[in-house]
């Protein structure tokens, strides 16, 4: 079956593209039967930047206790809390 695919529109922003794909069926625009697996980058790491953050000793101790309960480093727990706090609420 060789159906005619629709042309993917040009988008002025990522938000506009996201809205489009949330309301349209991609099979009308892409022939997924011809799709190929992309290149994998197993050693790719996120770019990080060290910062200095001064926290009260009591807070650090509480973080270490909570992190120990979760069996993760306390710095990872701090990053998780920051990430969760930055997550959109919508």
pLDDT digits (tens, 9 = 90+) for 44-67: 887 888 999 999 999 999 999 999
Going by pLDDT thresholds of 50, 70 and 90, the confidence category of residue 40 is: confident
Q: What is the SS3 string spanning 18-59? A: HHHHHHCCHHHCCCHHHCCCCCCCCCCCCCCCCCCCCCCHHH
User: Residue 5 in contact with residue 31, Cβ under 8 Å?
Assistant: yes
Per-residue pLDDT at 68: 96
Range 34-41, long-range pairs (CB < 8 A, 24+ positions): none
Going by pLDDT thresholds of 50, 70 and 90, the confidence category of residue 41 is: confident
**Nearest alpha carbon to residue 75 among 62, 85, 64:** 64
Going by pLDDT thresholds of 50, 70 and 90, the confidence category of residue 38 is: confident
CA–CA distance, 52 with 78 (Å, rounded to integer): 13
Angle between helix axes 74-86 and 57-70 (nearest 10 degrees) is 100
The predicted model scores a pTM of 0.47
Task: Give mean pLDDT, residues 10-25.
Answer: 93
């Amino acid at each position: 079956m060789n159906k005619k695919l629709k042309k993917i529109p040009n988008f002025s922003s990522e938000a506009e593209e996201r809205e489009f794909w949330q309301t349209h069926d991609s099979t009308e625009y892409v022939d997924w039967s011809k799709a190929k697996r992309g290149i994998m980058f197993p050693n790719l790491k996120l770019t990080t930047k060290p910062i200095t953050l001064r926290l009260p000793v009591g807070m650090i101790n509480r973080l270490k206790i909570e992190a120990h309960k979760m069996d993760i480093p306390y710095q990872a727990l701090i990053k998780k809390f920051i990430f969760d706090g930055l997550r959109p609420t919508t």
